[in-house]
Chain A
Amino acid sequence: MTTEELTALTVNKSVDARGTACPGPLLEAKKAIGTIGSGDIMEVLSADEGTKKDIPKWANKKGHDYLGTVEESGYFKIYLKKG
Chain B
Amino acid sequence: MIKKHLSIYTFSTKNRLNINNIKDNIMENKKMTMALFSGSIDKLTGAGVVLSGAAADDMDVDVYVLLMGARAFVKGNENKIDGLSEYPELKEEFLKSLETLKVSTWIEFFEMSKELTNVKIHICSLAGKMWGGEKMEDFIDLADDICGIGEYITSAQEADVHLFI
Contacts and interface: CB of A to CB of B under 8 A. Distances in A.
Nearest to B104: A24
A83 B17 CA distance: 12
Nearest to A55: B56
A26 B104 contact: no
A62 to B, nearest CB: 7
A19 B18 contact: no
Interface string A20-50: 1111101101110000000000000000000
A23 B49 contact: yes
B20 A63 contact: yes
A61 interface: yes
Determine the interface band of chain B, counting residues with CB < 8 A from chain A: 10 to 19
Of A23, A24, A29, A31, the most chain B CB neighbours within 10 A belong to: A23
Contacts, number: 41
Per DSSP, chain B at the interface is helix
Interface residues of A, number: 16
A27 B102 contact: no
Nearest to B23: A63
Interface in B76-117: 101-104, 112, 116
A23 B52 CA distance: 7
A26 B24 contact: no
A21, A22, A27, A61 pick with most chain B CB within 10 angstroms:
A27
A22 B57 CA distance: 15
Contact of B56 (A21, A30, A63, A83): A30
Given A21-B103, A24-B104, A83-B20, A61 B57 contact: yes
